[in-house]
Amino acid sequence: MLYDDLFVSLERARWNLSRDIDWDAMRPELLTPAWRFDVREVCLTELSALYATEMFLRDFYSDIDFCSFISIWFYEEMKHHLVLRKYLERAGEHIDEAELPRLRLTFAEGPAIETLTMHFCGEQRLAHWYTAFSASAPEPVLRQIFRTLAADELRHATAYAKYLRKAVANKPAVLPQILRMSLWMLRTSNDNPKHPTTLTEPSVVSLLEDPHYLRRMLNAYLPGRDHEAPVQRRVLALMSELAGRQIRSLRELGSSIREADRAVASAA
């Protein structure tokens, strides 16, 4: 079970809410009204870990290993919501618990391997976004928090990658689905950002006060078409490993899908 080693490695890297965030260095007067609003929206988006965990436990019911890992993922992701909420409280902003039930979602069932791939890509992308938000935030403790969350998301992406490797090793026929979902996830834009919180109908983000806050933040802090290069590079590195051939572009990923489809058909 991958859970055994993941538990140890993630526990070793885990940060402490009280000790590792430099709350005494906080300067809330540096926060603009726009940043206060956007941090609130990010905080509420992070609450979606609850809905995703329910989905994972339902759709991966027979996969005891992966469901065990989700216990760690859920704990760490909910801590993201908590640290942002505590930050807002120290800045004089409060989230009313009574408003949270209106954000509740139940995700429709879907193919488990595609869900796993989507979340691998989503964690890579969210780490990229949080790194950019850290670089742009006007307040030092907020910069630290976003850096901390970005590192968590990268570790989670690494864990998802391990489960994708395990899935292909156990059942090579799932490879085309993984490659196809990766290609779909990598075809994104700032005006239509692809992340598990934006893709359903309704989506997590669509229920917020400003459903377009991510689009606005990305255009402000990650402008240009080529900013996704680090995400694409990391995703294609894993797809290359799984496919057993070097994949350097989306075009090459498309040809790898066709090749994988032929291999599965031939084996069948």
Spatial separation of the C-alpha atoms in residues 117 and 196, rounded to whole Å: 11
Taking each helix axis from N to C end, the angle separating 2-13 and 140-170, rounded to the nearest 10 degrees, works out to 170
Spatial separation of the C-alpha atoms in residues 21 and 17, rounded to whole Å: 6
Q: 207-222, pLDDT tens digit by residue? A: 999 999 999 999 999 9
Taking each helix axis from N to C end, the angle separating 112-136 and 213-221, rounded to the nearest 10 degrees, works out to 50
The answer to whether the CB of 158 falls within 8 A of the CB of 195 is no
Q: 47-80, pLDDT tens digit by residue? A: 999 999 999 999 999 999 999 999 999 999 999 9
Peptide bond into 202 cis (omega under 30): yes
Domains of the chain: 2-267 (1.10.620.20)
Spatial separation of the C-alpha atoms in residues 257 and 183, rounded to whole Å: 9
Q: Is the pTM of this model over 0.95?
A: yes
Residue type for 13, please? A
Spatial separation of the C-alpha atoms in residues 120 and 193, rounded to whole Å: 15
pLDDT band at 268 (very low <50, low <70, confident <90, very high): confident
Task: Give the phi and the psi of residue 175 in degrees, each rounded to 5.
Answer: -55, -45
Question: Which three-class secondary structure string do you get for 151-203?
Answer: HHHHHHHHHHHHHHHHHHHHCHHHHHHHHHHHHHHHCCECCECCCCCCCCCCC
